[in-house]
Amino acid sequence: MKKVIKSTDLLVGMRAFTAARIAIGRAGTSIPLKQSLEFKLAHAHARDAVYSDLDINALTDDLKQFRLPILHLHSQAGYREQYLQRPDLGRKLSEASKTELQGHTQPTDIAIIIADGLSATAINTNAVNLLKILIPMLHLANLQLADIVIVEQGRVAIADEIAQALQAKLSLIIIGERPGLSSADSMGVYLTYNPKPGLTDELRNCISNIRPAGLTCEQASKKIFYLVQEAFRRKLSGVELKDNAGLLHE
């Protein structure tokens, strides 16, 4: 007799490959108590991540190892609730930050910006670990780096204004991503060639889900470095620049 494989059996096997909530079973018409509590805990972690703060002192201390000047800037969003309700304010620098940048203008290749985004937790946990791998790769390629910028209440597009002010040919913004129910520590990196205010997202490349349980810092650094090299070679970024390195299959 041919054995019938239930769909639930297939899902149970898939649990080894994903943190998604599949094959969790049920208790009557609901899910089991343990899984219900785990869901509520994950939801709480996600909310905490959205309202988390950058650990400016720890980040600054850790970034000193790269021997680059460090700037601390702020968007026009004055506080977290305003940042969440007014995305436009998170894309623009405050007047004080614009003034701060005026003394740091010198033509360079790459501006690295670190922003809290929607999960400062992700940045506090992963940003320096990524840069430990990435910055030496950029130096070996003889690419000149601008001052490292930490920006609070920042959105992706704020990198355009910062990089233009720093006279950088390319911007890399490392930013906390919108937390999922199993990925409150997920970080993304957006790459933009010839950055300037007013650009839209089709002109950027994104490397997403950078975290220990997702794309590791080592894997992400290789992908970023490949895209950086290709961006400078082809003098563009965005939908016309593809990741053809096949790094995830190595």
Count of domains for the chain:
1
103: phi > 0 → left, psi -120 to 50 → alpha, else beta; which? Answer: alpha
Which H or E run contains 226? helix 217-234
pLDDT of residue 246: 61
Indicate whether 35 belongs to any domain. Answer: no
Provide the pLDDT for residue 34: 79
* Residue 178: inside a domain: yes
Instruction: Report DSSP letters for 153-220, one per residue.
Output: T--TTHHHHHHHHTTEEEEEEEEEPPPBTTBTT-EEEEEEES--TT--GGGEEEEEEESTTSB-HHHH
Task: Say if 77 falls within a structural domain.
Answer: yes
Bridge partners (DSSP) listed for residue 108: 168
Give a yes or no: residue 85 inside a domain. yes
What's the pLDDT score for residue 211?
Answer: 93
| Contact call for residues 112 and 131 (beta carbons, < 8 A) | yes
Tell which residue, 108, 149, 160, 105, has the closest CA to residue 127: 149
Is 49 a member of any domain? Answer: no
Within a domain: 145: yes
- For 146, the domain range is 56-245
Q: Is residue 14 part of a domain?
A: no
Q: What is the CATH number of the domain that holds 181?
A: 3.40.50.11240
Q: What is the full per-residue pLDDT of the chain (250 aa) written as tens digits? A: 555 445 556 677 776 777 676 777 777 788 887 777 777 776 677 776 677 889 999 999 999 999 999 999 999 999 999 999 999 999 999 999 999 998 777 899 999 999 999 999 999 999 999 999 999 999 999 999 999 999 999 999 999 999 999 999 999 999 999 877 667 889 999 999 999 999 999 999 999 999 998 999 999 999 999 999 999 999 999 999 988 776 444 4
The CA distance from 155 to 89, in Å, is 8
CA 182 to chain centre: 16
Give the model's pLDDT for residue 23.
74
> Does any domain span residue 1?
no
Res 39: pLDDT: 72
Each residue of 213-238: b (16+ CB within 10 Å) or e? ebbbbebbbbbbbbbbebbbeeeebb
Q: How far apart are CA 13 and CA 166, in angstroms?
A: 51
pLDDT at 136: 97
